Structure 1
């Protein structure tokens, strides 16, 4: 069933589990994600990001993402992640996406508030929810988001008091916070500021989001969720799983695309189920 963020994240916040966002740029990824959710009885967030549009155009993705969510036996949010332009965010809403993350985190605080507040008002007219970002989650080298490097990442961490003001002004439904993660695959183990997660969670009354989740340890995830994270973004792990599925197909002598697809879908499904179990969203439909 097609839902928005509030319908699955508010229960997650209350009961201290998290729901995964798994990005999809093609049908194989979408099938693996939905199959994992239905097999485990887990709510799920599925979507794409603006930086991923070269691999799967937004309108074309909507042709199957939205109908698959409507037919699913579990709650499914179709989410447009890291929307960088107002125009693309509006297009996603018109195409039936039920959630938008409008990323204005590199703007000044005042511009971030102004732009996200405007989009939130519009999205709520569609019955959709909005995720904003305060602070800035960096990028690991080779990540889909880019190759920027922050010499002092902690300088971009989310401030708890500012988070309270940001939420009050913008009226967003979920807040992405910067606490030590980065997009893409990690070369070195990240160090999360768990106390900061707790402080932010105590200062706002909406669900918190952890970006840059691929590559974190199981203990990192569990502690972050206990401290207040209700949504975790995953792409690199399932993107890698899909490639491994294709490699396994070649190893088994499969050389046609149609022979490779089942391997890819199964590998994606297993990777997603692993995360759903870790986030404790299994059976929370």
Structure 2
């Protein structure tokens, strides 16, 4: 089963109305940990990389890590490039082997966004890869991409024209969601998800998931949000686990990197596993346990 197309993972989730965690990893430890959680929970998983992570590690090294850690894994997993406005980075990742990309042209006028997205979809198809699209910026800055100014939402007719013209596999609408920390409890437009899905049935990507309530997650997933992005929660868990361990190490005067790695990995596995349970993807890949690295 191991690495499969994004559409294979999302078609089942969309049909059966469960959500698949799409988790942004930052290094080899977090990659191995989220894969390990997927095996533990018998859950499909979308591993995401930001443009910043691709540039800091290097696409070839990052992809080599991916292929090594997914060798023999027996749950469906896929590798996705998150929010990328740079066509050259999209081409690079598709060439190296990413399974899907989010071409983020939300800063462009809709017509130009649509024109370029058509080109990206054609390029991705040549590599057997999928494409996620969006026509409105998701509020907030994530890994240097985005804006804190909330974009105006397009009419349903505009969104549907974009979907029909481009043929994207996943759509990420703005529904009051935001990247990073919410300054107040988000007021979400649940009906917008239902309206899009009713008119054009395809998986919806939910961005800005870190900080939403369990009830909001469940409601949005039930309406068609099959891909649920998690980035801030992973980064915070990873850094806070490091901080807690290092404070204790300083107090004890004992410095043992392997113990640090085990402690941090445990917290990341717990986070990812809890998301799989919450989103309903746990047990959706009931196969014999493979290995995550």
Which deviations, in whole Å up to 9, do the C-alpha atoms of 1:202-241 show, x marking residues without a partner?
Answer: 1212111011111111111111111221101101111111
Residue equivalent to 2:60: 59
Is the CA contact 1:241–1:268 (under 8 Å) kept in the aligned structure 2?
Answer: yes
Query: Structure 1 residue 149: deviation in Å?
Result: 2.4
- Are 1:95 and 2:91 an aligned pair? no
Scaled by the length of structure 2, the TM-score of the pair is: 0.90
Quote the Cα distance in structure 1 between the aligned partners of 2:217 and 2:120: 30
Query: Structure 1 residue 113: deviation in Å?
Result: 0.7
Quote the Cα distance in structure 1 between the aligned partners of 2:263 and 2:43: 22
- Are 1:123 and 2:124 an aligned pair? yes
Tell me: CA distance 1:147–1:162, structure 2 relative to 1, closer, same or farther (3 Å): closer
- Are 1:193 and 2:194 an aligned pair? no
Quote the Cα distance in structure 1 between the aligned partners of 2:155 and 2:266: 41
Query: Structure 1 residue 146: deviation in Å?
Result: 5.2
After TM superposition, where is structure 1 displaced by more than 4 Å over at least 4 residues in a row?
A: none
SS in 2 for 1:116: helix
Correspondence for 1:247 among 243, 246, 253: 243
Which deviations, in whole Å up to 9, do the C-alpha atoms of 1:68-116 show, x marking residues without a partner?
Answer: 2343210011001111111110110111111111111111111111111
Quote the Cα distance in structure 2 between the aligned partners of 1:72 and 1:112: 37
Is the CA contact 1:13–1:207 (under 8 Å) kept in the aligned structure 2?
Answer: yes
Tell me: CA distance 1:134–1:85, structure 2 relative to 1, closer, same or farther (3 Å): same
Is the CA contact 2:137–2:147 (under 8 Å) kept in the aligned structure 1?
Answer: no
- Are 1:270 and 2:239 an aligned pair? no
Is the CA contact 1:79–1:97 (under 8 Å) kept in the aligned structure 2?
Answer: yes
Is the CA contact 1:244–1:267 (under 8 Å) kept in the aligned structure 2?
Answer: no
Unmatched segments (≥5 aa) in structure 1: none
Query: Structure 1 residue 158: deviation in Å?
Result: 4.5
SS in 1 for 2:183: coil
Residue equivalent to 1:219: 215
Q: Which shows bigger deviation, 262-271 or 198-207?
A: 198-207
Aligned pair count reads 280
Q: More relative contact order in 1 or in 2 (CA 8 Å, sep 6+)?
A: 2
Residue equivalent to 1:29: 30
- Are 1:176 and 2:177 an aligned pair? no
Quote the Cα distance in structure 1 between the aligned partners of 2:55 and 2:130: 25
Query: Structure 1 residue 55: deviation in Å?
Result: 4.1
Is the CA contact 2:84–2:90 (under 8 Å) kept in the aligned structure 1?
Answer: yes
Is the CA contact 1:248–1:263 (under 8 Å) kept in the aligned structure 2?
Answer: no
Quote the Cα distance in structure 2 between the aligned partners of 1:28 and 1:52: 13
Scaled by the length of structure 1, the TM-score of the pair is: 0.93
Unmatched segments (≥5 aa) in structure 2: 286-293
RMSD value over aligned CA atoms? 1.7
Query: Structure 1 residue 147: deviation in Å?
Result: 7.3
SS in 1 for 2:82: strand
Q: Which shows bigger deviation, 47-56 or 131-140?
A: 47-56
Is the CA contact 2:21–2:275 (under 8 Å) kept in the aligned structure 1?
Answer: yes
Q: Which shows bigger deviation, 60-69 or 272-281?
A: 60-69
Quote the Cα distance in structure 2 between the aligned partners of 1:176 and 1:74: 25
Quote the Cα distance in structure 1 between the aligned partners of 2:39 and 2:154: 35
Residue equivalent to 1:234: 230
SS in 1 for 2:245: helix
Matches within 5 A, 1:134-145: 134-139=135-140, 143-145=142-144
SS in 1 for 2:57: coil
